[in-house]
């Protein structure tokens, strides 16, 4: 989400297309969302404005933004020319944010949900953008106390960006399974690996897995329809888990839970980046890509929500079920040639355990929710 664009919808759509046509392949930007915590009890605390004030005049000022609730802060890398550059900046942004947190006597964490803080106690920040969303969505937006990791990948060509987006739809479950970090919410062990997805993706309109579009013209027609019917007031109200962005010539992936550890975050962002680049190359070379119907992708998405990498995913082309980790191994192998070319290969890993698996194992061993979350907070601040 972001502040509303000042351009008219028609100007926005036209400039977006022009931006893609003159854009650059495989630039990258990463956005990370963090919970702002009281260091004494690790509950959410409404202190975003203090972060914003403390950032003034520092290097991180222009890269620090609000994200819906006052107990959340987002940092962005900004546009990077390569993934290794982005990985370095991700570490620097975390360091900068943590310095601010230290000055303010606050703590931070980046799991997909906060385990126990009530949504009723979180204040929506006072900006025109979020006031509009509050007026439109009400209970739906109030409940959205979630924290994610988003990756923008530069794609040249408007029609090509649509084709890349179409293909990425089928891989959203794999990315979610890889990223699961939120088994706890509202004081409950949910048995899910990504409760965040149920709170955000399943509740918001125009969210989750989008339809495939034939080309940019069909996408434009849909966006115009939404504006003309007053279904949206700004383009950011298309909250899909993957979308062509109308302010930047990028395809943005938004499916993933936040990652507590820097290395986990870098590895996940690397996979999203390498996968997007691999798909773009496949399109250029005429390689056949999966084009599965929404209903089948949703079957895998539920498996990712419920079981993460501990479960199974369906090979939708063959109708066969395989361990989710084996599916990620296939994905890593498929992306590796492009990953090596773009300097991403060293970041790509199959994790020994995801953050959700780590938390669930501790829960089953008898640790309390508070103890488990405290350990994730310590990992979040280790840069």
Chain segment 180-227, per-residue pLDDT in tens: 999 999 999 999 999 999 999 989 999 999 999 999 999 999 999 999
* pLDDT for res 131: 86
The encoded tokens of residue 220 equal 């434009």
Q: Residue 250 forms beta bridges with which residues? A: 154
Spatial contact of 314 and 302, defined as CB atoms under 8 Å apart: no
- Rounded distance between C-alpha atoms, residue 325 and residue 57, angstroms: 45
The model's pTM:
0.95
Residue linked to tokens 């403390």: 54
Candidates 127, 155, 145; CA nearest to 29 is: 155
127 confidence band (pLDDT: 50, 70, 90): confident
**Three-state DSSP class for 7?**
coil
Three-state SS at 42: coil
Fold exhibited by the domain 9-375 = Creatine Kinase; Chain A, domain 2 (3.30.590)
Q: Are 344 and 86 in contact (CB under 8 A)?
A: no
Write down how long the chain is: 383
**Confidence bin at 128 (pLDDT 50/70/90):** confident
pLDDT at 370 over 60: yes
Mean residue pLDDT of the chain comes to: 94
Cα of first residue to Cα of last residue in the chain, in angstroms, is 26
Task: Please give the structure tokens belonging to residue 105.
Answer: 């006597």
Q: Where are the domains of the chain?
A: 9-375
276-303: pLDDT as tens digits = 999 999 999 999 998 999 999 999 999 9
Residue tagged 């020319």 (tokens): 81
- Decide: helix, strand or coil at residue 21: helix
CA 303 to chain centre: 18
Give the C-alpha separation, 300 to 298, whole Å.
Answer: 5
Instruction: Return the percentage of the chain with pLDDT > 70, whole number.
Output: 97
| Ranges assigned E (strand) in the chain | 28-37, 64-67, 69-76, 107-109, 148-154, 184-185, 188-189, 207-208, 239-240, 242-244, 250-257, 312-315, 320-323
Contacts of 219 (CB under 8 A, 6+ apart): 162, 213, 244
The predicted structure's pLDDT at residue 378: 64
Q: Taking 90 as the threshold, does the pLDDT of residue 129 lie above it? A: no
| pLDDT attached to residue 383 | 45
Residue 320's CB is within 10 A of a number of other CB atoms, namely: 10
* Confidence bin at 2 (pLDDT 50/70/90): very low
| Distance of alpha carbon 372 from alpha carbon 135, whole angstroms | 36
Dump strand ranges (E) for 222-371: 239-240, 242-244, 250-257, 312-315, 320-323
């Amino acid at each position: 989400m972001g502040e509303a664009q000042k351009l008219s919808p028609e100007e926005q759509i036209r400039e977006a297309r022009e931006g893609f046509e003159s854009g650059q392949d495989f630039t990258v930007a990463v956005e990370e969302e963090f919970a702002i915590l009281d260091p004494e009890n690790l509950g959410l605390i409404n202190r975003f404005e203090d972060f914003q004030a403390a950032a003034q005049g520092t290097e991180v000022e222009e890269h620090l933004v609000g994200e819906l609730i006052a107990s959340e802060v987002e940092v962005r890398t900004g546009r990077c020319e390569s993934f290794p550059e982005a990985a370095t900046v991700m570490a620097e942004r975390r360091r900068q944010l943590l310095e601010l947190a230290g000055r303010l006597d606050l703590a931070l964490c980046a799991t997909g949900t906060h385990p126990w803080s009530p949504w009723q106690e979180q204040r929506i920040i006072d900006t025109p953008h979020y006031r509009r969303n509050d007026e439109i969505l009400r209970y739906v937006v109030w409940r959205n106390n979630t924290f994610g990791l988003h990756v923008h990948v530069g794609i040249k060509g408007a029609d090509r960006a649509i084709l890349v987006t179409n293909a990425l739809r089928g891989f959203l479950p794999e990315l979610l399974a890889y990223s699961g970090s939120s088994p706890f919410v509202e004081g409950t062990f949910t048995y899910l690996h990504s409760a965040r997805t149920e709170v955000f993706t399943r509740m918001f309109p125009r969210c989750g897995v989008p339809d495939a579009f034939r080309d940019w013209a069909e996408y434009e027609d849909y966006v115009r329809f939404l504006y003309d019917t007053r279904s949206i007031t700004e383009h950011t109200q298309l909250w899909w888990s993957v979308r062509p962005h109308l302010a930047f010539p990028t395809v943005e992936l938004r499916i993933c839970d936040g990652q507590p550890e820097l290395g986990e975050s870098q590895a996940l962002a690397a996979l999203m980046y390498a996968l997007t680049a691999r798909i773009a190359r496949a399109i250029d070379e005429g390689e056949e890509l999966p084009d599965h119907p929404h209903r089948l992708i949703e079957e895998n998405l539920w498996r990712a929500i419920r079981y993460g990498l501990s479960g199974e995913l369906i090979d939708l082309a063959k109708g066969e079920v395989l361990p989710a980790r084996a599916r990620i191994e296939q994905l890593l192998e498929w992306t590796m040639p492009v990953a090596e070319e773009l300097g991403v290969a060293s970041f790509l890993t199959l994790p020994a355990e995801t953050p959700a698996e780590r938390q669930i194992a501790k829960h089953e061993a008898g640790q309390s929710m508070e103890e488990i979350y405290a350990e994730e907070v310590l990992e979040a601040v280790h840069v």
